[in-house]
Homo-oligomer: A and B are copies of this chain.
Amino acid sequence: MWKKRLEQIGPLSERWVEAAKDRVDNLVKPKGSLGLLEDMAVRAVAIREEKRPAFDKKKVVVFAGDHGVAAEENISAFPQEVTGLMVRNFIDGVAAINVISRSVGADVDVVDIGMKETPEDLQGLIRKNVRRGTDNMAKGPAMSIEDAQRAINVGIEMADNAYNQGFPLIATGEMGIGNTTPSAALFSALLPAAVSDVTGRGTGIDDDTLSRKINVIKKALEINKSRVKDPLSALATLGGMEIAGICGLCIGGAAKKMVVVVDGFIASAGALVAMKLNPHVKEYLFFAHCSQEIGHKVFFEKEGIRPVLDFDMRLGEGTGACLVMQVIEHAVKIYNEMATFEDVGIEPGN
């Protein structure tokens, strides 16, 4: 499925971009004075190819997966069981992502794409487990190419569902104890970047754990060298289920001309794989915020991307992306509803 969807993704329509820019410049305000809000509105309109798109329907898709490297290498501040405990909180509606999504008016899909154990009793959990956690990438590939493809397809399926339910705007979320480690490995391999430049403290590890984490990533890159040949094999070898799911959500969203908001550091790793598979994917993505995780800045610099917010967040779950879905909604409302200079009989100033 994923290859077909990838082929469907082309550049934004220049005609739509130009038409949207024209309208923005005729709204009754000094040219360019709404800054980033103008750029966001133009791109959102061009993605949707609609004259007055509505973005009141929003959804965040939270993919949960576990990591062999976290189970075996002691690189996280939290034990692996916390993935499952947090997923329970998501289902119970008491985590940060639940509060923020309610507050911005977004639906939440919680997807088990690769949890080690799935509690039986979680009502509403979307059960799409591809495998029970990854293998330890410091000892071999995290997963097979086939598993990575299956996980990408789950992401695409989630985008398709959202599309069929009429959502024009979706966001990526994730939960997976230890998942800054595979993300850093992917950034190092795909940007590329030095491991120490893209490896940070995750949920809050100390100096010793950080240096162990850096060594584990270096080892993973070293022993898997011959396996990493292209974005897909990098994802399989160094990635995680939730990262592959996010990659799929970006591909699926772009293929359906949806606006996709990418959350933080881990989500950006998934988005990067999608962008490397088809560079046009980038045109459909908004990067919500610059994470406090040090490697995120390196990613933005290397890819020439300006994130919307800079809030020192490093939670994941999709929290930053929820905030930004709403900013996009506001930006497009301005585009849709403001009067033009002609409407009100004022001469444009420049």
Contacts and interface: CB of A to CB of B under 8 A. Distances in A.
Contacts of A339: 89, 92, 94-95
B337 A99 contact: yes
A297 interface: no
Interface in A12-42: 27-37
Given A312-B36, A346-B82, A330 B30 contact: no
Given A35-B312, A36-B313, A338 B94 contact: yes
Contacts of A102: 333, 337
Contact of A349 (B30, B37, B94, B204): B204
Contacts of A310: 310
A191 interface: no
A344 B85 CA distance: 8
A94 B34 contact: no
Given A76-B349, A104-B330, 17 more contacts: A27-B96, A31-B204, A32-B314, A34-B313, A36-B311, A88-B344, A92-B339, A94-B337, A94-B339, A95-B338, A96-B334, A99-B334, A100-B330, A100-B333, A102-B337, A323-B327, A326-B326
29 contacts: A27-B96, A28-B89, A28-B94, A29-B95, A30-B77, A32-B312, A33-B203, A33-B292, A33-B315, A34-B96, A34-B315, A36-B312, A37-B313, A76-B349, A77-B350, A88-B344, A89-B339, A92-B344, A94-B337, A94-B338, A94-B343, A95-B338, A96-B334, A99-B337, A99-B338, A100-B333, A100-B334, A203-B350, A309-B309
Contacts of A309: 309
The 5 closest A-B pairs by CB, nearest first: A35-B312, A94-B339, A77-B349, A30-B203, A33-B315
A300 interface: no
Interface residues of A, number: 56
A241 to B, nearest CB: 21
Nearest to A289: B35
